[in-house]
């Protein structure tokens, strides 16, 4: 036998990671007192515990305190007590604590890695080389943000007490993603880990004790659904940060509606892995292994949909099968293991059920010929071919080691297939032509796009999704904003509209019909229902009538906005010119609009003129910022740059207030347009004639048809229609508290981004009612990772 024969005959020998230190830690810990509240270890108030088991064997690891609502009350009280002193601490003081946490974690990183693998089932190589180092990186990185807070986020402060709920697939890393920016911002925390994986959170709480974290700043409560519900609903919590399934995310969105709580949701995904015919196929296969079989596919951004160009599809599939046959499934503590067990029997059963259903729907499911361990929750890597776009394996998040494959003919079809999902978390593009890759990336509805790579993360680069993958970002500058707040200049409480249905007194000599239509798709159109609404002057006389918009009118307006491709595809400079022109044309009719304001609102001529001038000035402001509110280029500690691109949210619904009816409307429409969104606006219910007077100004200001659509009518009713419409991507509502709450609750169909005034008005004349705070609402941040070097 020659040396080559010996090489091919070699087998891997076991290379187990020692677990004696982890077992000793488990044996020494009283898990009946595992709630870390106010700096003390406590048993659950109700005396309950839950079991956590080892996925590789099913053996019991510990019985852990199961928190109830009383425990959450205690944790929130501790966080609230610690908040004033922690938020008042200097950035340097908070930075020292964050750095101390990171350094203490470094000293115990092997114990963290082994505990994570024992509790979760992921291979030790992943825990040791990815999860734990990246968790440490987050704390040290955010130590810098803590000290730079006043410089980089002027006028902002921590949002307050934060409730955080994390999943079981990355227990320690998700904890770091949540806690590090919260502490840097000056917030205090109540965090609930997943029931399946509580151990590293308990070890982290011990680290907080050693690192000098003040009592009550970090509270960690183990528990199940009762504890999660109590955190979400607690009136003492000012923000909820949740990572988990889209279904639970929708429940949380509805539960927090009208509460005024800040909310960020990082939810599910069905990420496309696109391989073009000029790609390096061997590299793509290795990226695919990382994309779908990393952590057994239990990754929200897993590249679970392989889209291969037809010319190379067969060759690529053959290479994938060969590589799959060499993946090692086994003990997660073995350093040679590629795929460990799924986290629990319930997850294993779910994955098996989805694979069976996918096969029933026509997919051909292939698995390598490999033996599974005799115990534990293992599932072989699975390749599904012949998958139709409607197959359950192409549409539903499997959260297991299952890859669905489809083919495409050209770039346009690849983009269409990639975007054929209700999710929008991540995507991966493989091509040796960087021009092609960077042409495709902005067209993908995904918050993160990796070029010739996958599953690249860093604390300096934001992560988060579009659509039903949630909203908000983790990491980077945008991740810090999630834990900060800037006080807008609040106006009075907005009262529900009480317009009378009784006839308005006819004005003297007003015989000519003055019924204003709706403005949809660049045209003035009659309302579908052919009803109108009488509008009174400040003296109670009839000023005119407007169309009473309905559900059908909103549908038409949204359709027109969605079809208005010219505006979002225009350059920022072009949008800037158009907005300047709109301001110029409004200026030419300033006297007319001032007179209308006086007539309708009773404002003095001077005050009316000031509002018109402020409206023109605001258009000028956003015209100037259209090509200046730009993204960033990050340089993570890798051979890559990350392009943080600002992209329009899409179709934005706007429900404008009665207060400052012209300025309020312009202040909302202008930033949305500046960033390339198209708009469906519901103007002031009481003073809509100011909006209908804008029609002619819009028509001769070079704004493309459909970019602005205006539907007059009952604000509360139309806000509800916009909230329920799944082709509306964002909704801004400044109305009474009940209307705002309903809009938030009814937005869960597609988890659109909702910004409401929670029943409070804004001083629209204030300088703080304009600028970056509004522009941030008008964009999504997409992080495109571009590697470089050989």
Angle at CA 442, nearest 5°, toward 439 and 443? 85
Rounded CA-CA distance 124/706 in Å is 54
Within 8 A by CB and 6+ apart from 556, the residues are 520, 521, 525, 528
Among the listed residues 199, 222, 781, 703, the one whose alpha carbon sits nearest the alpha carbon of residue 480: 781
Tell me how far the alpha carbon of residue 44 is from its chain's centroid: 33
Angle at CA 368, nearest 5°, toward 364 and 373? 125
Report the SS3 class of residue 629: coil
**Is residue 249 within 8 Å of residue 265, measured between CB atoms?**
yes
Instruction: Provide the 8-state DSSP code for 604.
Output: -
Within 8 A by CB and 6+ apart from 613, the residues are 590
Task: Please give the model's pTM, rounded to 2 decimal places.
Answer: 0.94
Q: What is the pLDDT of residue 509?
A: 54
Helices (H) and strands (E) in the chain, counts: 30, 34
**Is residue 285 within 8 Å of residue 252, measured between CB atoms?**
no
Alpha-carbon torsion (570, 575, 576, 580), positive or negative? positive
| Range 692-701, long-range pairs (CB < 8 A, 24+ positions) | 692/516, 692/517, 692/519, 692/546, 693/592, 693/593, 693/596, 694/586, 695/516, 695/519, 695/524, 697/582, 697/585, 697/586, 697/589, 698/519, 698/582, 699/522, 700/585, 701/578, 701/581, 701/582, 701/585
Structure tokens of 531? 């009803």
| Range 738-745, long-range pairs (CB < 8 A, 24+ positions) | 738/258, 738/496, 739/496, 739/655, 739/715, 740/258, 741/257, 741/258, 742/257, 742/258, 742/716, 743/257, 743/655, 743/719, 744/253, 744/254, 744/256, 744/257, 744/258, 745/253, 745/254, 745/257, 745/258
Task: Give the chain's residues under pLDDT 70.
Answer: 1, 498-514, 790
Among the listed residues 158, 225, 222, 168, the one whose alpha carbon sits nearest the alpha carbon of residue 190: 222
Rounded CA-CA distance 252/248 in Å is 6
Rounded CA-CA distance 513/507 in Å is 12
Q: Other CB atoms closer than 10 Å to residue 565's CB: what's the count?
A: 12
| Catalytic sites, residue numbers | 266, 300
Q: Other CB atoms closer than 10 Å to residue 223's CB: what's the count?
A: 29
Rounded CA-CA distance 703/775 in Å is 19
Q: What is the pLDDT of residue 3?
A: 81
Rounded CA-CA distance 590/586 in Å is 6
Rounded CA-CA distance 120/712 in Å is 54
Q: Other CB atoms closer than 10 Å to residue 146's CB: what's the count?
A: 25
Q: What is the pLDDT of residue 158?
A: 96
């Amino acid at each position: 036998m020659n040396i080559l024969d010996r090489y091919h005959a070699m087998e891997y020998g076991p290379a187990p990671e020692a677990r004696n230190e982890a077992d000793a830690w488990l044996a020494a810990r009283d898990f009946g007192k595992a709630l870390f509240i106010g700096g003390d270890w406590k048993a659950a108030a109700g005396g309950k515990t839950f079991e956590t088991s080892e996925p590789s064997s099913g053996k019991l690891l510990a019985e852990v305190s199961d928190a109830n609502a009383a425990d959450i009350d205690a944790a929130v009280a501790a966080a609230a007590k610690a908040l004033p002193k922690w938020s008042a601490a200097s950035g340097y003081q908070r930075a020292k604590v964050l750095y101390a946490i990171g350094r203490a974690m470094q000293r115990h990183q092997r114990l963290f890695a082994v505990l994570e693998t024992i509790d979760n089932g992921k291979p030790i190589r992943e825990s040791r080389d990815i999860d734990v180092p990246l968790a440490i990186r987050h704390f040290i990185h955010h130590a810098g943000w803590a000290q730079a807070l006043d410089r980089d986020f002027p006028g902002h402060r921590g949002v307050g007490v934060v409730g955080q709920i994390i999943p079981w697939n990355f227990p320690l890393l998700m904890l770091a993603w949540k806690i590090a920016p919260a502490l840097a911002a000056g917030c205090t925390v109540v965090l609930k880990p997943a029931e399946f994986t509580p151990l590293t959170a308990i070890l982290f709480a011990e680290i907080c004790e050693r690192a000098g974290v003040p009592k009550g700043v970090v509270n960690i409560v183990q528990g199940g659904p009762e504890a999660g519900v109590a955190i979400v609903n607690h009136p003492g919590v000012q923000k909820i940060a949740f990572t988990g399934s889209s279904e639970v995310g929708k429940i949380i969105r509805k539960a927090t509606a009208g509460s005024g709580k800040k909310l960020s949701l990082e939810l599910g995904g069905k990420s496309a892995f696109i391989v073009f015919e000029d790609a390096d196929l061997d590299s793509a296969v290795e990226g695919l292994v990382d994309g779908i079989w990393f952590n057994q596919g239990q990754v929200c951004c897993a590249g679970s949909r392989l889209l291969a160009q037809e010319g190379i599809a067969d060759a690529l599939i053959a290479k994938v099968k060969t590589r799959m046959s060499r993946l090692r499934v086994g003990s997660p503590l073995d350093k040679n293991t590629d795929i460990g067990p799924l986290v629990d029997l319930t997850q294993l059963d779910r994955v098996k059920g989805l694979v069976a259903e996918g096969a029933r729907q026509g997919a051909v499911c292939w698995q390598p010929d490999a033996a599974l361990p005799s115990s534990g929750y293992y599932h072989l890597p699975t390749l599904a071919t012949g998958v139709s776009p409607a197959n359950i394996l192409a549409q539903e998040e499997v959260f297991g080691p299952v890859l669905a494959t489809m083919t495409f003919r050209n770039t346009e079809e690849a983009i269409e297939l990639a975007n054929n999902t209700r999710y929008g978390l991540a995507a991966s593009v493989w091509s040796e032509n960087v021009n092609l890759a960077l042409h495709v990336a902005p067209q993908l509805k995904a918050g993160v796009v990796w070029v010739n790579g996958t599953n690249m993360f860093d604390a300096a680069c934001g992560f988060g999704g579009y659509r039903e993958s949630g909203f908000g970002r983790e990491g980077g500058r945008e991740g810090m904003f999630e834990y900060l707040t800037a006080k807008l200049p609040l106006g009075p409480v907005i009262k529900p509209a009480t317009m009378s249905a009784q006839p308005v007194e006819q004005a003297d000599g007003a015989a000519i019909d003055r019924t204003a239509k709706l403005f949809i798709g660049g045209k003035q159109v009659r309302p579908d229902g052919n009803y109108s609404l009488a509008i009174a002057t400040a003296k109670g006389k009839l000023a005119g009538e407007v169309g009473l918009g309905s559900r059908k009118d909103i549908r038409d307006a949204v359709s027109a906005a969605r079809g208005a491709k010219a505006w979002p595809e225009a350059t920022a400079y072009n949008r800037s010119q158009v907005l300047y022109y709109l301001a110029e044309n409004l200026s030419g009719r300033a006297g007319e609009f001032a007179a209308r304001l006086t007539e309708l609102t009773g404002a003095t001529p001077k005050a009316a003129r000031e509002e018109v001038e402020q409206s023109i000035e605001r258009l000028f402001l956003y015209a100037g910022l259209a090509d200046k509110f730009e993204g960033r280029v990050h340089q993570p500690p890798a051979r890559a740059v990350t392009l943080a691109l600002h992209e329009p949210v899409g179709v934005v619904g706007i429900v404008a207030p009665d207060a400052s009816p012209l300025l309020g409307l312009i202040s909302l429409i202008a930033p949305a347009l500046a960033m390339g969104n198209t708009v469906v606006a519901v103007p002031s219910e009481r003073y809509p004639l100011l909006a209908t007077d804008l029609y002619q100004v819009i028509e001769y200001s070079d704004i493309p048809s459909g970019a602005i659509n205006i539907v007059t009518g009952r604000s509360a009713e139309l806000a509800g229609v916009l909230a329920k419409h799944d082709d509306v991507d964002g909704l801004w509502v400044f109305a009474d508290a009940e209307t705002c709450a309903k809009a938030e609750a009814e937005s869960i169909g597609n988890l659109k981004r909702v910004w409401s005034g929670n029943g409070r008005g804004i001083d629209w004349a204030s300088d703080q009612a304009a600028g970056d705070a509004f522009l941030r609402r008008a964009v999504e941040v997409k992080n495109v990772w571009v590697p470089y070097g050989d």
